[in-house]
């Protein structure tokens, strides 16, 4: 799965826009998490080849941790050129 913060993907044409996808996790200090896994799983369920315009947003949960949300647009792409 290709994940890009850009709105396009050099060397590829977007052939279909499948929709918005997101991953959400709570990060507690001292623990680890894998927010990208949720984002990728959502895109995979839609049959996407890539997620474009990926962004993160965070918000503090008092002094114990943070809520982190990653989101983007799931798309099907086709490589172009040689």
pLDDT tens digits for range 13-26 = 999 999 999 988 87
Give residues with Cβ within 8 angstroms of 31, minimum separation 6: 65
Contact 40, 48 (CB under 8 A): no
Q: Residue 75: give its domain's CATH number.
A: 3.30.110.70
pLDDT at residue 40 in the model: 84
Round to whole Å and give the CA distance between 18 and 16: 6
pLDDT at residue 30 in the model: 62
Contact 64, 29 (CB under 8 A): yes
Number of domains in the chain: 1
The pLDDT of 35-63, averaged and rounded, is 86
* Single pTM value for the model: 0.79
pLDDT at residue 51 in the model: 95
Domain residue limits at 40: 2-79
């Amino acid at each position: 799965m290709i994940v890009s913060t850009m709105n396009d993907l050099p060397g590829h044409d977007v052939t279909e826009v499948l929709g918005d996808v997101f991953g959400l996790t709570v990060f507690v200090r001292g623990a680890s998490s894998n927010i990208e896994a949720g984002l990728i799983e959502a895109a995979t369920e839609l049959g996407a080849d890539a997620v474009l315009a990926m962004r993160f947003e965070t918000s503090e949960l008092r002094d114990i941790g943070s809520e982190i949300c990653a989101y983007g647009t799931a798309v099907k792409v086709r490589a172009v050129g040689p």
